[in-house]
Structure 1
Amino acid sequence: MQIGDAQPDWVSVTLGVFVCQGCSLIHRSIESLRQVKSVLQDTFEDKEIELITSMGNEAAKAKYEQQVPPFYHRPSHTDCRILREQWIRAKYERQEFIHIEKQEPYSAGYREGFLWKRGRDNGQFLSRKFILSEREGALKYFNKQDAKEPKAIMRIQTLNATFQPAKIGNPCGLQITYLRDNSTRNIFVYHEDSKEMVDWFTAIRAARFHYQKVAFPGANDEDLVPRLTRNFMKEGYMEKTGPRHTEGFKKRWFTMDDRRLMYFKDPLDAYARGEVFIGSKENSYTVVSGLPPSIQGYHWKYGITIETPDRKFLFACETEAEQKDWIAAFQRVVNRPMMPQEYAGTQTHSRHRKKLSKSESEKLTVSLSLCS
């Protein structure tokens, strides 16, 4: 079985391994691996049966995955195509995980190159120089090739990267997020070469892994790997209203990133219009299907109410299926006990607000309360 699919109905007669339908298409696109047959429809020669019998998936894994770095993302069948393709090419075509004496560039702790970055204001993709330095603990990009000062410094501590081909409109589209003044900042990049883009993704994971090793010296690799990069729990459109619940509902793009629920006017906005922390049920956070009976002004009829210690947040979904998916995502977060560092994050919000002027505090409260 390949990449976690439950129905490996195809077999590579080049390698002697069973693969899912999606990965069979990738194998067919690679010249050296293209001999793939259907288990249910094709006939097999004796030598092919001998190879499949002698090899199989477990033996192939032992041979081709001898030295997979702990930070290397092992894709599942739900991951985007280029992650699955580059995993297959790395294993079988380039055989990166057999030659233990060879260090791949993404493991070096430093990477420099050019990526196409989407402009924050005009939406155009322009070539920008990026430098990832594990020693400096940062990913930087420069607006001009000869610029001495970077346009942005993204600390490895809060860095995340997730492939978003559909949202960005490019098969190699990568969304990079980081915290800036305790607010989430998005940038969207791609490269024409899928290997180059996956190498950048892997280099970010490697830098994050080594940072985590220093920050948590007693932790096992198995505990650190889930913290390297993450996909968003849920994304999509919902309607929302403001804190007084008297404003009309507005359609916004929502992203659930761990405990941060953010909304954007456009999916490719650099900054969220607002974000709210979703705590646990032990801290009086609950999720309820529907809206209070007195609420008006919504167009979509499938409502969701999130109750927090401070207020209620009201949303509406277009379909019942979307409502159920969002409630399930919220419920997973609410049912999960909070970690100590998550409490520290809420305390940071509180301390920061006490230092602000009255007008600044009101602006921050609006941002944190998901106002229109």
Structure 2
Amino acid sequence: MSGEQDWNKKSVKILSRKGGNTKCADCGETDPQWASYTLGVFVCVTCCGIHRNISEISKVKSLTMAKWDEEQIQFLDQHGNDAAKAKYEAHVPIHYYRPTHTDCHVLREQWIRAKYERKQFMKNEGADGSPDSKETGVKEGTLFKRGRDNGQYLARKFVLTELDGTLKYFIKSDAKEPKAVIKIDSINATFQPEKMKHNHGLQITYVKDNKARNLFVYHNDGQEIVSWFNAIRAAQFHYMKVAFPTANDKEILSRLPRNFLKEGYMEKTGPKPTDAFKKRWFTLDHRRLMYYKDPLDAFAKGEVFLGSTEHGYQVKAEIVPNSYSNIWNYGISISTPDRTYLFTCESEQDRENWLSVFKKVISIPMTVREFAVEAQFKHRS
């Protein structure tokens, strides 16, 4: 019997190295160590935990620790990740966000549930996976929004309208006038469970009067908050298809709501040699480096535009002595055509991480749209 089990384990291992099975079927993590013998997919340990929560659909086992019988091995052999993708991801909308292994739990969970539990992509559905949104181009509902001053989360009515490219929110559900009207093309939305201390926390960053603003929202239902995230992506995708008819889908997709390139604390000094260093929370969103007094502030205290090296932008490491009230002395300077900014990091590793991201950004040539944003920054200053 043990010989048979050894052979079965070896057979499963061989199957896990076959084609698309070398990466998790749901998040792309390499070398998955679990498999669902009812769906025929190989998954990583994190996605395996989600599969366990839909046990009526997916039954999982460890490739190395569990016993495998002949029928289960044959089922895996006849299916596998590539076959499952062709079946369960046949009609994923082009704008729909496919989570990776670095994404938060709610995104991964709802992606897995959408595929296997709701079978959302086995036939064409609406723009965000719901039939009504495609018909009307409008998504409406209640989200809990963080108050700018008191930090309390209160229910607010939100309306996303694809036709006029806006996201509005209202203080009361029956209010006629919105509290804010946000242009869809200026939005970035990213999940922030750790920062917001809520598993379904979503940060909506947008630009108004060329200044960054933040809304922090959540919904208790994971499916609903992910639906909002993908509805924003859908509306933005369709808006940009009209606004930039010569842009290809890949270019547009790169501009849709995405994770920030990097966030964290650095110290910053002002333009005068006598200005003191102050600790600030920094967020890098593509070429816009924003800094805040607190990570959950609604408004940025300031912003720096990162252009490209071919247009006079430079980034380099600096040694900053403790003579300007700075606590940290692992310095970074960002030189723009108009000014040099000086920051300090807590550790050498932290500085290397920031430098790596900054250098990558400025190595990329600027687009026509980015030149317009740069001009707005110059005009503002």
| Fold agreement, TM-score > 0.5 | yes
Question: Is 1:171–2:212 an aligned residue pair?
Answer: no
Alignment partner, residue 157 of structure 1: 185
Contact 1:12 1:35 survives alignment (8 Å): yes
Query: In structure 1, the residue corresponding to 2:158 is in which secondary structure?
Result: strand
Structure 1 counterpart of 2:171, from 130, 143, 150: 143
Residue type matched to 1:122 in 2? N
Residue type matched to 1:196 in 2? E
Task: Provide the rounded CA distance (Å) in 1 between the counterparts of 2:189 and 2:293.
Answer: 21
Structure 2 counterpart of 1:80, from 65, 89, 104: 104
Contact 1:119 1:125 survives alignment (8 Å): yes
Alignment partner, residue 329 of structure 1: 357
Alignment partner, residue 15 of structure 1: 39
Structure 2 counterpart of 1:124, from 152, 160, 176: 152
Alignment partner, residue 309 of structure 2: 281
Deviation at 1:107, TM superposition (A): 3.9
Contact 1:263 1:274 survives alignment (8 Å): yes
Structure 2 counterpart of 1:306, from 320, 323, 334: 334
Task: Provide the rounded CA distance (Å) in 1 between the counterparts of 2:105 and 2:200.
Answer: 9
Deviations 1:80-114 (A, max 9, x none): 11111111111111101112377624544211110
Structure 2 counterpart of 1:89, from 100, 110, 113: 113
Structure 2 counterpart of 1:318, from 346, 355, 365: 346
Task: Give 1:1-372 correspondences, 5 Å limit.
Answer: 1=23, 2=25, 3-100=27-124, 104=130, 105-108=132-135, 109-291=137-319, 296-350=324-378, 353=379, 364-365=380-381
Query: In structure 2, the residue corresponding to 1:144 is in which secondary structure?
Result: coil
Task: Provide the rounded CA distance (Å) in 2 between the counterparts of 1:33 and 1:206.
Answer: 29
Task: Provide the rounded CA distance (Å) in 2 between the counterparts of 1:224 and 1:306.
Answer: 28
Deviation at 1:295, TM superposition (A): 5.7
More off after superposition, 142-151 vs 301-310:
301-310
Alignment partner, residue 357 of structure 1: none
Deviation at 1:143, TM superposition (A): 0.8
Residues 197, 246 of structure 1: alpha-carbon distance in 2 compared, 3 angstrom cutoff = same
Query: In structure 2, the residue corresponding to 1:289 is in which secondary structure?
Result: strand
Contact 2:39 2:58 survives alignment (8 Å): no
Query: In structure 2, the residue corresponding to 1:131 is in which secondary structure?
Result: strand
Residue type matched to 1:263 in 2? Y
Deviation at 1:263, TM superposition (A): 0.5
Contact 2:322 2:328 survives alignment (8 Å): no
Task: Provide the rounded CA distance (Å) in 2 between the counterparts of 1:218 and 1:349.
Answer: 26
Task: Provide the rounded CA distance (Å) in 2 between the counterparts of 1:174 and 1:227.
Answer: 18
Residues 52, 271 of structure 1: alpha-carbon distance in 2 compared, 3 angstrom cutoff = same
Deviations 1:153-194 (A, max 9, x none): 011121221111111111100000111101011000000000
Task: Provide the rounded CA distance (Å) in 1 between the counterparts of 2:242 and 2:343.
Answer: 41
Task: Provide the rounded CA distance (Å) in 1 between the counterparts of 2:89 and 2:275.
Answer: 56
Residue type matched to 2:325 in 1? G
More off after superposition, 333-342 vs 187-196:
333-342
Task: Provide the rounded CA distance (Å) in 1 between the counterparts of 2:361 and 2:334.
Answer: 12
More off after superposition, 97-106 vs 222-231:
97-106
Contact 2:322 2:329 survives alignment (8 Å): no
Alignment partner, residue 368 of structure 1: none
Deviations 1:59-86 (A, max 9, x none): 1111111111001101111111111111
Query: In structure 1, the residue corresponding to 2:247 is in which secondary structure?
Result: coil
Task: Provide the rounded CA distance (Å) in 1 between the counterparts of 2:338 and 2:144.
Answer: 42
Deviations 1:118-165 (A, max 9, x none): 001111000000000111210000012221100000111212211111
Contact 2:307 2:374 survives alignment (8 Å): no
Residues 98, 198 of structure 1: alpha-carbon distance in 2 compared, 3 angstrom cutoff = same
How many pairs were matched up?
353
Residues 294, 253 of structure 1: alpha-carbon distance in 2 compared, 3 angstrom cutoff = closer
Task: Provide the rounded CA distance (Å) in 2 between the counterparts of 1:287 and 1:112.
Answer: 44
Deviations 1:252-288 (A, max 9, x none): 1000111111110000000000001111111121111
Residue type matched to 1:28 in 2? R
Residue type matched to 2:109 in 1? E
Identity of aligned residues (%): 55
CA RMSD of aligned residues (A): 1.6
Residue type matched to 1:71 in 2? H
Contact 2:332 2:355 survives alignment (8 Å): yes
Contact 1:291 1:314 survives alignment (8 Å): no
Deviation at 1:231, TM superposition (A): 1.2
Residue type matched to 2:226 in 1? V
More off after superposition, 228-237 vs 339-348:
339-348
Contact 2:267 2:345 survives alignment (8 Å): yes
Query: In structure 2, the residue corresponding to 1:60 is in which secondary structure?
Result: helix
